Amino acid sequence: MSKLELHNVVKCFGDNTVCDGINLNVDQGQMVCLIGASGAGKSTLLRCINLLEPIEDGEIFLDGEDISFPGLNPQSVRSKIGMVFQSFNLFPHMTAFENAILAPKRTKNLSKIQLTSEVEMLFERFDLAERMHNYPDQLSGGQQQRVAIVRALAMKPEVMLFDEITSALDPQLVGEVLDVLLQLKDQGMTMVLATHEMQFARQAADKICFLKDGKVVEEGSPKQIFTDPKRVETKAFLSRALK
Amino acid sequence: MKNNKAAGITRREQYEQKQRRRSILVAALSTIFVIVTIVIFVPMTPGWEKVQKSFFNGVVLSKTFPKLLNAFTVNIMIFAWSAPAIAVLGLMIALARDAKSPALFPLRIFGAAFTDIFRGVPVILTVYLIGFGIPGLGLPRPWNSPFIWGSLALILTYSAYVAEIFRSGIDSVHPSQRSAALSLGLSERQVMRDVILPQAIRNVVPSQMNMLIALQKDVSLLSFIGPVEIFRQAGVYKSLFANFTPYVGAAIIFLIVTIPATRYADYLMARQMRERR
């Protein structure tokens, strides 16, 4: 059984069908990269998995349990699925540490001491200990995004979703954030990424899915997709993206 | 471009310096012109001496000013208990209007009706209707006090405005903040309390400061239903001395409070604009 399974997921905004029957399997510990042009439906798909957008049709399974069932309380699902956004979305009125501790403090019955030491360890692990008590506007973009990752990890999620998390960064800051992803992969985190970082996807992903117009056009190993794409659309996209 | 520097400054700076000098000169000249006109021509008007005696009378001012200050403490008292009540009620109305649960639908309707009614009726009318109407029910002392019902009228009216400002503050927080907070597994309530409201309130502090200043002035409307606050007290002295100077004294006292407050609100507003860039 896959960790995360999507069956025929359909999402529309008005007349605009953004996800048009998407199937996707993500195994435990796998890193899956969604690639494709802007507007292909990558971000929306991630938001659907995290139940930030209700889907029109289809099912989403986490550990075999249908989490897309209408009327289900999304809170317990979201605490198992972490998400990191393109624009960081840190809470500007809280320090990095307060950002990270808010959700576990509110949703888990843990002692404050235990929580504090756990979260502090996360900051240390990702080389942010010195920045822990800074406010977001005192941090560089790369640091902010790493804090956002720590914030999501503080909930101890089973799956992590990353929505183009390096797209808003200066080129020299991209590396530090991608390093964090590699670290998470080594630790066996199950991850789904929407990304424009083709080199990274090629090196780090276990599986690549190419999306176009809300459909998965082609999926396969990075080697197969990048060196021997079967579909013309994939070829055309890659030749543009790898230029 | 070698010769773009003269006397150690660029030609751009040179130009701007010239422009600056010019505008300072023009501003000074026009200010002097206006002041001279007022100083020369106003005293030449036929009624000036009478106006001076009845509005700017130093003797009357020095006699009444301390008493006016004393009466102003009544304004401060009414202000001091109304302002916190307005903040709390305003926030509650704002939250009620944004309530999503169907069980809270009546609350939403109530919130909308509340803001429509109290923004739509002149403050003085509300003060009259509540201030005379409710004590008219024959309530025992101290529940027939015009202080209580007059303050309530102010609280209701101002809460309606303050609620709308809070709502605009809530709308000003970017939806991505909500997404991020929800994605962490927080409930709608927690998202509102911990993430949206703190930012919303911070965003509307300058606007709310302006409401406080307006409230400070409108406390005087309560004089129409009884309490002897500064405006009423000034009226008493006007009759006593047959002289309008006490009103000028009252205006001075108001300005002593409101000018610093207005400046501070403007400063907060300017700082916020800078932060947003």
| pLDDT for the residue B273 | 78
Which residues in chain A touch residue B184, judged by CB atoms under 8 angstroms apart?
A: 78-79, 82, 102-103, 151-152, 155
| pLDDT for the residue B266 | 86
| pLDDT for the residue B201 | 92
Sign of the CA dihedral with A41 first, then B181, A83, and A170 last: positive
**Average of per-residue pLDDT across A54-79:** 92
Query: Does residue B2 carry a pLDDT above 80?
Result: no
Whether the Cβ atoms of residue A58 and residue A10 lie closer than 8 Å to each other:
yes
Residue of B nearest to A152 (CA): B184
| pLDDT for the residue A39 | 87
Whether the Cβ atoms of residue A28 and residue A9 lie closer than 8 Å to each other:
no
| pLDDT for the residue B271 | 84
How many other CB atoms sit within 10 Å of the CB of residue B274?
Answer: 8
Residues A36 and A212: their CA atoms lie apart, in Å, by 6
| pLDDT for the residue B23 | 94
Query: Does residue B6 carry a pLDDT above 60?
Result: no
Residues A233 and A239: their CA atoms lie apart, in Å, by 10
A142 touches chain B (CB under 8 A): no
**Average of per-residue pLDDT across B94-118:** 88
Annotated domain spans of chain A: 4-241
Which residues in chain A touch residue B182, judged by CB atoms under 8 angstroms apart?
A: 52, 74, 78
Choice between B99 and B61, residue whose per-residue pLDDT is larger: B61
For the complex shown, is ipTM > 0.90?
A: yes
**Average of per-residue pLDDT across B10-34:** 93
Residues for chain A: how many in total?
243
Please state at what angle helix B146-172 crosses helix B58-97, rounded to 10 degrees: 50
| pLDDT for the residue B145 | 84
Structure tokens at B274: 């800078």
CATH superfamily of A4-241: P-loop containing nucleotide triphosphate hydrolases (3.40.50.300)
Among A224-228, A231-235, B3-7, B184-188, the least confident range: B3-7
Query: Does residue B157 carry a pLDDT above 80?
Result: yes
Residues B199 and A135: their CA atoms lie apart, in Å, by 14
User: Given pLDDT bands bounded at 50, 70 and 90, which one contains residue B226?
Assistant: confident
Environment class of residue A13 by beta-carbon count within 10 Å: exposed (0-12), middle (13-18) or buried (19+)?
Answer: exposed
Segment A50-66, tens digit of pLDDT: 999 999 999 999 999 99
B199 touches chain A (CB under 8 A): yes
Q: How many A×B Cβ pairs under 8 Å?
A: 60
Query: Does residue B5 carry a pLDDT above 80?
Result: no
Structure tokens at B98: 């944004």
**Average of per-residue pLDDT across B14-34:** 94
B70 touches chain A (CB under 8 A): no
| pLDDT for the residue B276 | 60
Q: What is the CA radius of gyration of chain B?
A: 26
Query: Does residue B159 carry a pLDDT above 90?
Result: yes
- Its CATH architecture, for the domain B57-276, is Orthogonal Bundle (1.10)
A155 touches chain B (CB under 8 A): yes
| pLDDT for the residue A70 | 85
| pLDDT for the residue B89 | 95
Which residues in chain A touch residue B176, judged by CB atoms under 8 angstroms apart?
A: 85, 87, 89
Residues A80 and A159: their CA atoms lie apart, in Å, by 7
SS3 A28: coil
| pLDDT for the residue B7 | 60
How near does any CA of chain B get to the CA of A89, in Å?
6
- As a dihedral over the C-alpha atoms of residue A20, residue A23, residue B182, residue A155, rounded to 10 degrees, the angle is -170
State chain A's mean pLDDT as an integer.
Answer: 93
Query: Does residue B137 carry a pLDDT above 70?
Result: yes
| pLDDT for the residue A208 | 95
| Residue from A47, A55, A97, A96 nearest A72 by CA | A55
Whether the Cβ atoms of residue A93 and residue B197 lie closer than 8 Å to each other:
no
**Average of per-residue pLDDT across B248-254:** 93
Environment class of residue A111 by beta-carbon count within 10 Å: exposed (0-12), middle (13-18) or buried (19+)?
Answer: exposed
Segment B263-276, tens digit of pLDDT: 988 888 888 777 76
**Average of per-residue pLDDT across B147-154:** 92
Contacts of B34 (CB under 8 A, 6+ apart): none
Query: Does residue A148 carry a pLDDT above 60?
Result: yes
CB nearest to B186's CB, from A47, A81, A103:
A103
User: Euclidean distance between the first and final Cα of chain B, in Å?
Assistant: 34
Segment A160-208, tens digit of pLDDT: 999 999 999 998 999 999 999 999 999 999 999 999 999 999 999 999 9
Mutate to test the interface with B, among A73, A86, A106 (most CBs of B within 10 A): A106
